[in-house]
Amino acid sequence: MIDGNFYEQKSKINVLQIPISADESDPRGFAYSKNDQLGIDLYRWDIRQSSCPSRRFDLIFVTADNADAVDLSHLKKALTGVKSLRGDIMPVVGIFKKIESSKAITLLKDVFCDVRRMPRTADKMARYIALWLNYVNRNMLNKLKHRQLRRWNHKRTVRDSWLKKEMFNMQAQMFRIQHAIDSMEMWQRGRRLDRELKIAHSIQSILLPSKLPAFAGFDFDAVCLPAREVGGDFYDCYCIDDKRLGFVIGDVATRGIPAALLMAGVRGMWRSLMINAGNTGDIVSQINSLICNDLQNMWGMYITLFCGIIDSDAGTLMYTNAGHCYPVVYRAKSNCMEELKEGGNVIGIHIDTKYEEATIQLNARDVVVAYTDGITESHTGNSEFFGKEKLYEIIKKNSRHSVKYIRDVICRELDDFMGISEHHDDKALFLFKKSR
């Protein structure tokens, strides 16, 4: 183990080596070798194989591949029988191939005066022995121990600082990875939702009449503009027979998918009831009864509805208004506006609500406009509302034109009014004109 002329010693130096690892154990339990050039007598003692040697020693060093293999209680018990040439002080040092700073500090705080990593060369090992004996001869073992404690503490601090930095970097990387995963999942969910909303928009578009029916003596037009992909405003019409045509316009008191689902249900109820239509009051009452049963655990959900039946032979409009914005009739002969108010409360609140119907006479060139509150309650950033007065003015000013032209003017005026402001509510228009 020791070679070279690094340390000259007049008298023999007795060094005891205690190997801990199995690879260094000696089957004889105790072995001896010497180096005449350095004046070192080296004894190897396997504490698992034989009893304590009787010789006195200048220095004891413990060797092992891994410092964790050192059992301090077992080692201290074995060392109680070892005799020292230095009186009560027993210089014990450790040489290990692998050691962590925390383990080195533990050993130094116990029986060890020094703890080092295994040197790569015999010359360096000789330097270690010379260093230890120098401290022993000068009674400075405590100074050596404190110096090594500071060294290993510094290493532990540096290691802990590095570990903290690595942990921080690892956590930051994990956070970035998790954020990327979350972003990808949100993007995928967003794409899936967009795809589903597009499908829902297509389905809702199918539910609205693609083409309004031709009906003797009347011209019809309509439009529905949801604030989102789907909405709760709707209109529909149905030819009951050759002489009668039923129509409806409604507004569900919410937006988006819930409103669209409820709108589809109300439209289906209205269509089924129109097949055997008697009067509008009975139709709306039955719809209210069905909706109240469905919405009894959904507080705040309700529907406003305007239902009408046109009789072409009589030239009349029977209607029921269930809490809806008042449709308006422009009377061409008197150049005045007439609001259609008769009916009852909104649908979905009270199951026993009674709805009345009313009938009005329609004359040539009269225009009927039914709309949802998304038209009149559209407002800009400064909270200025479009209002029904502006709507009535547009209807009056353009009453001599076709209903398609009137619809286009209303939509254009509404877009000009809103500008870049966001449309917060769904909008629907249903209008018709008696041609003769």
Q: What CATH number is associated with residue 99? A: 3.40.50
Do 332 and 247 share a structural domain?
A: yes
Task: Using DSSP bridges, classify how beta strands 367-371 and 328-331 pair: parallel, antiparallel or unpaired.
Answer: antiparallel
Do 144 and 234 share a structural domain?
A: no
Element housing 297 (H / E): none
pLDDT score for 297: 67
pLDDT score for 36: 61
145 phi/psi in degrees, rounded to 5: -60, -45
Using the 8-state DSSP alphabet, how is residue 119 labeled? Answer: P
347 occurs within a structural domain: yes
* Number of Cα atoms under 13 Å in the Cβ half of residue 410: 35
Do 213 and 151 share a structural domain?
A: no
Do 217 and 151 share a structural domain?
A: no
Q: Where are the beta strands (DSSP E) in 312-399?
A: 316-322, 328-331, 336-339, 343-344, 358-361, 367-371
Do 338 and 220 share a structural domain?
A: yes
pLDDT score for 286: 93
Element housing 69 (H / E): none
184 occurs within a structural domain: no
Question: How distant is the alpha carbon of residue 380 from its chain centre?
Answer: 33
Query: Of 299, 238, 226, 233, which Cα lies nearest the Cα of 262?
Result: 233
In Å, how far are 127, 133, 316 from 98, measured between CA atoms?
20, 24, 103
Do 214 and 151 share a structural domain?
A: no
pTM for the predicted model, two decimal places = 0.59
Alpha helices in 93-237, H assignment, sequence order: 101-108, 122-137, 141-207
Unique residue bearing structure tokens 């020791």: 2
Whether 16 contacts 45, CB under 8 Å: yes
Do 392 and 248 share a structural domain?
A: yes
pLDDT score for 283: 94
168 occurs within a structural domain: no
How far apart are alpha carbons 133 and 130 in whole angstroms? 5
Instruction: Locate 50 and state its tokens.
Output: 């034989």
Domain final residue, candidates 158, 176, 194: 158
Task: Report the number of distinct structural domains present in the chain.
Answer: 2
Alpha helices in 250-279, H assignment, sequence order: 256-274
Residues 220, 290, 258: CA angle, nearest 5 degrees: 70
Domain final residue, candidates 126, 158, 190: 158
Do 215 and 127 share a structural domain?
A: no
Integer Rg of the chain from CA: 49
Whether 247 contacts 430, CB under 8 Å: yes
Which residues constitute the domain of residue 297?
208-434
In Å, how far are 184, 377, 386, 394 from 390, measured between CA atoms?
47, 11, 7, 6
285 occurs within a structural domain: yes
What CATH number is given to the structural domain containing 356?
3.60.40.10
Q: Which residues does residue 221 pair with via DSSP β-bridges, in sequence order?
A: 431
Q: Which residues does residue 13 pair with via DSSP β-bridges, in sequence order?
A: 40
308 occurs within a structural domain: yes
Residues 213, 218, 223: CA angle, nearest 5 degrees: 55
226 occurs within a structural domain: yes
How far apart are alpha carbons 285 and 351 in whole angstroms? 9
Do 320 and 222 share a structural domain?
A: yes
Do 101 and 231 share a structural domain?
A: no
Query: Of 131, 78, 119, which Cα lies nearest the Cα of 95?
Result: 119
Unique residue bearing structure tokens 């009894």: 296
Whether 305 contacts 284, CB under 8 Å: yes
pLDDT in tens, the chain (436 residues): 433 333 344 457 788 888 886 555 444 455 556 666 667 788 888 887 777 777 888 888 888 888 888 888 888 888 887 877 666 566 888 888 888 888 888 888 888 888 888 888 877 887 888 888 888 778 888 888 888 888 888 888 877 777 778 777 888 888 888 888 888 888 778 777 777 667 666 666 677 887 888 888 899 999 988 877 667 789 999 999 889 999 999 998 876 777 788 888 898 899 899 888 789 999 999 999 999 887 776 667 889 999 999 999 999 999 999 999 999 999 999 999 999 999 999 998 888 899 999 999 999 999 999 999 989 988 876 778 888 999 999 999 999 999 999 999 999 999 888 887 777 778 899 999 998 7
114 phi/psi in degrees, rounded to 5: -155, 150
**Residue 80: exposure state from Cβ atoms within 10 A (0-12, 13-18, ≥19):** exposed
Task: Using DSSP bridges, classify how beta strands 114-117 and 92-98 pair: parallel, antiparallel or unpaired.
Answer: parallel
